């Protein structure tokens, strides 16, 4: 008995026990007290939440003389595509990067996932070569 470890004696109140997962009562958080008092407040939203909510907002646009309600995301993509189609090099590069990113996130075979056809991609690459030289 002298060499074996002795088991701790059980006390009458189990809340007084101290050990792994049972810190002393004097150092425990009080009821209603946060472990991170300067942390994020309840109800505050992070950047991703605010961005997603903003992009889902509706906006009225004039398209071919007709008023149409679309989301801000749709309006932004339409503007980017229109600027790229009119020859804006930066818009074209951004559009190609966006199309590739969308293509990479899709789980379809590579022949089906491209928003641009093979001929369209060749034309865009030719345009980029002409603008960059």
The verdict on pTM exceeding 0.75 is: no
What residue segments make up the domains of the chain, in order of their start? 45-86, 90-133
Q: What is the pLDDT of residues 79-102, one digit of tens each?
A: 999 999 998 999 999 999 888 888
**What residues form DSSP beta bridges with 71?**
58
- Where b means 16+ CB within 10 Å and e means fewer, 104-118 reads eeeeeeeeeebeeee
Which helix (DSSP H) or strand (DSSP E) does residue 58 occupy?
strand 58-63
Residue 55: is its pLDDT beyond 60? yes
Residue 113: is its pLDDT beyond 90? no
Q: What is the mean pLDDT of the chain?
A: 80
Quick one: what percent of the chain has pLDDT higher than 70?
80
Question: Mean per-residue pLDDT for 98-120?
Answer: 70
Lowest mean pLDDT segment, chosen from 12-26, 50-64, 70-84, 111-125: 111-125
């Amino acid at each position: 008995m002298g060499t074996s470890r002795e088991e701790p004696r059980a006390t009458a109140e189990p809340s007084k026990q101290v050990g792994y997962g049972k810190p002393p009562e004097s150092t425990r958080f009080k009821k209603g007290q946060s472990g991170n008092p300067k942390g994020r407040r309840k109800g505050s939203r992070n950047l991703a939440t605010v961005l997603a909510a903003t992009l889902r907002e509706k906006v009225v646009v004039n398209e071919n003389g007709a008023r149409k309600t679309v989301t801000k995301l749709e309006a932004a993509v339409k503007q980017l595509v229109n600027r790229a189609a009119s020859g804006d090099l930066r818009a074209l590069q951004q559009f190609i990067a966006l199309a590739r990113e969308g293509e990479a996130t899709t789980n379809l075979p590579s022949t089906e996932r491209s928003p641009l056809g093979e001929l369209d991609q060749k034309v865009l690459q030719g345009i980029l070569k002409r603008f960059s030289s």
